[in-house]
Amino acid sequence: MEGKTYMEILREVKVARSTLSLWLRDVGLSKTQKQRITKKRLNAAKKGGAKKKQIRVDKTKAIEEAAAHDIQHISKRELWLMGIMLYWAEGLKEKRSRPSIPLGFGNSDARMLRIYLLWLGEIFSIRKKDLRISLYIHETSKHRMSDVFEYWRREIGFKESDFSYIYFKKHNPKTNRIFYTDRYFGLVDVRVKQSTDLRRRVEGWVKSIDEYYLNNCE
């Protein structure tokens, strides 16, 4: 006995699988033979998993490439609306205890920050000198801050000296959040200096959009 699998035997013996099963129902396998079959099955499973992954990757790429054709041009008005939506979702909102807060936005997604910074520049002509940039990051990342600053310089154009404040968050052992060290670069908070009235204007746009759909949607 060589410990071959059913498929290996069927390639050599042209019978039905049910017939082969009947023939071999009383045949036992040694530990070595069982280990060989188990290893073969594991290798087959890995191959199958790799093939499924590649199919998923190829499908995702095709969908993304097709979607890219939907975005041919973004007008200034569309950028204006995009920025309002970003602020609505993640912007610093007025509180009763702090009615004079500036226009602020914070996120860990560099893509969102790039669009938001573009919005500030294109819609309001706000430049780097008009901003106060802060970084909030977990204290366990202190040893890799050079990589963190390089990441943000590359992604949004702010070097270490552009950050006004660095806040290290304390470790909370009860948290369920998992940090992937090589992909975690903290959260960047962007605030426009002396912009209370500007923030009120943006919140007015948000309110108007909300009211428009409340009044016009059936």
Query: Is 125 found in the same domain as 18?
Result: no
Pick from 30-34, 90-94, 102-106, 162-166: least confident:
30-34
What's the CA gap between 135 and 203, in Å, rounded? Answer: 24
Specify if 58 maps to a domain: yes
Query: Is 212 found in the same domain as 119?
Result: yes
| pLDDT at residue number 54 | 83
Query: Is 188 found in the same domain as 100?
Result: yes
Query: Is 119 found in the same domain as 58?
Result: no
Question: Has residue 39 got a pLDDT over 80?
Answer: no
Query: Is 94 found in the same domain as 34?
Result: no
Alpha-carbon dihedral angle through residues 168, 171, 176, 177, given to the nearest 10 degrees? 20
Query: Is 54 found in the same domain as 82?
Result: no
Full residue range of the structural domain in which residue 123 is found:
76-216
Specify if 56 maps to a domain: yes
Specify if 1 maps to a domain: no
Query: Is 90 found in the same domain as 34?
Result: no
Q: List, for residues 64-111, the tens digit of each pLDDT value.
A: 989 988 998 999 999 999 999 999 999 999 887 788 899 999 999 999
| pLDDT at residue number 211 | 94
Specify if 71 maps to a domain: no
pLDDT band at 41 (very low <50, low <70, confident <90, very high): confident
Domain count along the chain: 2
Q: Are 158 and 152 in contact (CB under 8 A)?
A: yes
Q: Which residue, of 15, 43, 65, is where some domain finishes? A: 65
| pLDDT at residue number 176 | 55
Q: List, for residues 202-215, the tens digit of each pLDDT value.
A: 999 999 999 999 99
Average of per-residue pLDDT across 5-16? 65
Query: Is 184 found in the same domain as 130?
Result: yes
Question: Has residue 9 got a pLDDT over 70?
Answer: no
Cα–Cα separations (whole angstroms), residue 137 to 169, 174, 181, 187 = 6, 18, 11, 6
Query: Is 128 found in the same domain as 43?
Result: no
